[in-house]
Amino acid sequence: MENTKKTEQNYAASDIQVLGGLEAVRRRPGMYIGSTDQRGLHHLIYEIVYNSVDEAMAGYCDHVSLTLHADKSVTVEDNGRGIPVEKHPVTNISALETVLTILHAGAKFGGKTYQVSGGLHGVGASVVNALSRHFKVITRRDGLAYYQEYKRGIPVGPVTEIGPTDERGTVITFLPDEEIFPTIEYDFDVLCERMRELAYLNKGLFLSIIDEASDRESGFYFEGGISSFIQRLNRNHNALHSPIYIYRQDDSTITEIAIQYNDGYSENILSFVNCINTSDGGTHVTGFRSALTRAINDYARKSKLLKEEDTNLTGEDTRQGLVAIINIKMPEPQFEGQTKAKLGNIEVKGLVENVTAAGISLYLEEHPDEARTIVDKCLIAAKAREAARKARELVIKKSSLDGDLPGKLADCSSKNPAECELFIVEGESAGGSAKQGRNRRFQAILPLRGKILNVEKAPQDKIFSHSEIRAIATALGAGIDSDFNPAKLRYHKIILMADADVDGAHICTLLLTLFFRHLPQVISDGHLYIAMPPLYRLKAGKEEYWAYSEEEKETCLAKLDGKRVEIQRYKGLGEMNAEQLWETTMNPETRTLLQVTVEDFTKADNIFTVLMGKEVAPRRQFIQTHARAVRNLDI
C-alpha cells in the first residue's frame, strides 16, 4: 500500500506531455494515415492528389499528374489556382506555410473556397509534410511562381519568389521518411486503379500517372463519367440493357447515379461522397435501395406484371445482378468513423431517395422493353429466394441450437470465439490427420467432401441447398448473406487448408468466392486466413528441413550436402502424418498463415467475375495475359 502511494505522488503535471505542431503526427502516424505499410504510403499520395481533385471539383483544374520517381520520391502537379502565399491574418505567416504546417488549416472549411472536398478536411497536406524526409512545393498564381522546402515538416527557409510564369497550379514533390516507413515501395497497378476511379467520378478531368523506375505510364479521361465506369464494371458480364443515368443538383448537392443489370446473381453497389469511397455505405445507399425497390414494385403493379394476390418484390429481389454507382458531391459531409467508410448525413437519405425514384420511374416508363427485362429478372429472383428460404432457415436454425452442429465437425472445447480457430480442410483423409494433430482446446476441424459449389454461377436456392456450404454456415453459427450477425461468429480465425497442388488451389478459390460473395464481413473483420503447408521435406542424416517455396528449397539444399539429401515433394495434406501436419501447418508457434484482405473491391470483384463466372472468353484472355507471371506452377 505504501508503494502505491509513492507511485501516485510521483505522477505530477510535469509528466503530462503536450505534442506541439506536427510532432503528434510523427509520433502516431497510424492515427492519421491508417498504417505505415504500403497502404499508408499510398494514403500520402492520395491526400495530395485529393487536394488537386478538389480544385477540379471547384471548376478550376482539368489536369492532374502523378509521377513516381526512381529515388522513391513522388510528384503531384495540377493546373489549378495555386496555393496562396500572402501572409495569413491569424497565423502571421505565409498562407502556404500555414496550410503545410498546421493541422486543420486549409480552404476546405466554411464552404467559401471549396463547396465540396475530399481528403482529411485540412490535415492531409500537413500530415504528408510531417511524414516526409523532404517536401518541396511550387505554387504558380497571378503570373508568378513561388517555392518553399521542408524537412520532416519543418521549413528549410521562407517562401521565395522564383520568377514569372505563364502557368498556374501547384507542384508538390515529397519523399516519405524512412524513419516512419520501413519499406518504401509503391504499387503502380493499385495507384492506377485509384486514378482511373477518380477520372470516372470527375468527367472531363484528365489524370496521368508515370512510374520512372519501371518506365510505365497511363492516362485516364472519361467524358461519360460514371456511365463509362459502370460499363467497365460490367465488361465481363452479360448486361441486360444500356446504363441508366440519373443526375440532379439541389442547391450545393449533386446526386449522380448509374445503374445497369446483368444476368448474374451478385449485387455490386459502389458509393462515393466527394470522391471518397464509402465502402460501408450510409444514408445515401439506404435512400437509393429504398427508392429502387419502391420504383420497380410500383411499375410492376402498374403494368400488371405483379398481380394483386402477389406479394411485393423485396429489396433482395430487385438487387440481384445489379451494378450501381452512387456519386454524391456535397458540402460538409458527416462520416461515421475515422476511415470515412460510411456517410451519416440524415438529410441525404430523403434527397437520394427522391432523385432515384423519379429517375428510375421515368426510365421504366420510357423504355418498356428494358423495363420488362428488369422486372422479369426480379421476378425470377423472387422465385429463387422463396425456394432458398427453407434451406437458409434450416442453416440459421441449426446454427442457433446448442450442440446442433455438422456431424463431421470436430469442435474445440473453448467457447471463447477470440481464441477459437476453425480449419476448413480439403478431403476426409487430411481432415483425419488434422483432427489427430490439432490442439483440441482451441482448434476445430471441418473436413470437406470434394469441391464445393461455385457460387458465382449458382442461384440462391442451389447455394443454400448445397450440403458443404450449409455445413460451413452452420459451423460458423453467424448466418449468411443479409442474415449474417458477426456477434454470433463462433471462431475468430477461419483457416482454409488445402493441398499444395492445382486441385487444392481450385478448392481454395471456390471457398474464397463463397466468403467474398456471401460472407464478406468475415473478410473485412480480418477473420479469414489461408494455411501454408510445406511443399518439400528435405532430410540429410539427422537434419530435417521444411521448405514452403522453391526458393526456400534451394536455400535449404545449399545448407546441406546436396549428394546426400532426401527430397520429398508434398502435394497432398494426407501425405503428412498428424505430427508433421501439426508441426508444419497448424502449430501457432511455427506455422505460416496468409490473412485474406480486400484492398480494392472493384478489382477483386472483377477477378472473381472473370475467373469464376459464366463467360469463357474473358477467362481465357485473363489466363493468356497473366500466364507468364505465374510464380508457382504445379507440374
Residue 635 pLDDT level (bands cut at 50, 70, 90): very low
Q: How confident is the model at residue 16 (pLDDT cuts 50, 70, 90)?
A: very low
Give buried/exposed letters for 332-369 (b at 16+ CB in 10 A, else e).
ebbbeeeebbbbebeebbebbbebbbebbbebbeeeee
pLDDT in tens, 76-119: 999 999 999 998 888 888 999 988 988 765 544 444 444 555 55
503 is catalytic: yes
Q: What confidence score (pLDDT) does residue 123 get?
A: 58
Per-residue pLDDT, 17 = 42
Q: Residue 65, Cβ neighbours under 10 Å: how many?
A: 20
In this prediction, residue 631 carries a pLDDT of: 57
Residues near 110 by Cβ (< 8 Å), separated by ≥ 6?
A: none
The distance of Cα 337 from the centroid of its chain, to the nearest Å, equals: 16
Q: Which residue has the higher pLDDT, 397 or 285?
A: 285
Question: Is 317 known to be catalytic?
Answer: no
| Options 217, 370, 501, 615, the catalytic residue | 501
Instruction: State yes or no: is 280 an active-site residue.
Output: no
In the three-class reduction of DSSP (H, G, I as helix; E, B as strand; rest coil), residue 238 is classed as: coil
Cell 511443399 belongs to 535
Confidence of residue 607 (pLDDT cuts 50, 70, 90): confident
Going by C-alpha positions, the residue among 586, 597, 477, 475 that lies closest to residue 526 is: 597
pLDDT at 414: 95
For residue 204, the SS3 value is: coil
Q: Domains of the chain (ranges plus CATH)?
A: 23-220 (3.30.565.10), 226-384 (3.30.230.10), 401-533+594-629 (3.40.50.670)
Q: Which residue has the cell 423504355?
A: 367
Of residues 187, 503, 544, 600, which has the active-site annotation? 503
Residue 110: which of 205, 249, 252 has the closest Cα?
Answer: 252
Helix and strand totals (H; E) in the chain:
21, 24
Q: Of 47, 78, 426, 583, which residue is the catalytic one?
A: 426
- Residue 130's pLDDT is 92
More confident: 544 or 344: 344
Contact 211, 217 (CB under 8 A): yes
CA quadruple 370, 372, 377, 382: dihedral sign: positive
Q: Is the pLDDT of residue 487 over 70?
A: yes
Determine the pLDDT at residue 338.
55
**What pLDDT does 9 receive?**
53
Q: Is the pLDDT of residue 589 over 80?
A: yes
Render pLDDT for 424-472 as a digit per residue (tens, 0 to 9): 998 888 888 899 999 999 999 999 987 899 998 888 778 888 889 989 9
In this predicted model, what pLDDT tens digit does every residue of 173-222 receive, in sequence order? 999 999 999 999 999 999 999 999 999 999 999 999 999 999 999 999 99
pLDDT above 90 coverage of the chain, percent = 57
pTM: 0.71
Q: Assign residue 42 a region: left if phi > 0, alpha if psi is -120 to 50, beta otherwise? A: alpha
Out of 54, 177, 211, 499, the active site residue is 499
CA distance 281 to 326: 10
178 versus 1: which is more confidently predicted? 178
Q: Where are the beta strands (DSSP E) in 212-315?
A: 216-220, 244-250, 253-261, 268-273, 276-277
- How many of the other CB atoms lie within 10 Å of CB of 295? 21
The x, y and z cell numbers of residue 6, run together, are 509513492
Question: How confident is the model over 499-516, as pLDDT tens digits?
Answer: 877 888 889 999 999 999
489's CB contacts (< 8 A; 6+ apart) are 417, 476, 477, 478, 522, 527
Does the annotation count 499 as an active-site position?
Answer: yes
Per-residue pLDDT, 337: 64
The helix/strand/coil state of 341 is coil
Cα–Cα distance, 602 to 30 (Å, whole number): 25
> Residue 172: CB partners within 8 Å, gap ≥ 6?
48, 75, 76, 77, 125, 135, 136, 137, 138
Residue 401: predicted pLDDT: 41
Write down the mean pLDDT value for the chain: 87
What local confidence, expressed as pLDDT, does residue 396 receive? 55
pLDDT, one tens digit per residue, over 309-333 is 889 999 999 999 999 999 999 988 8
* 274 vs 190: CA distance, rounded Å: 20
pLDDT at 440 (0 to 100) = 95
Q: How far apart are CA 357 and CA 61, in angstroms?
A: 33
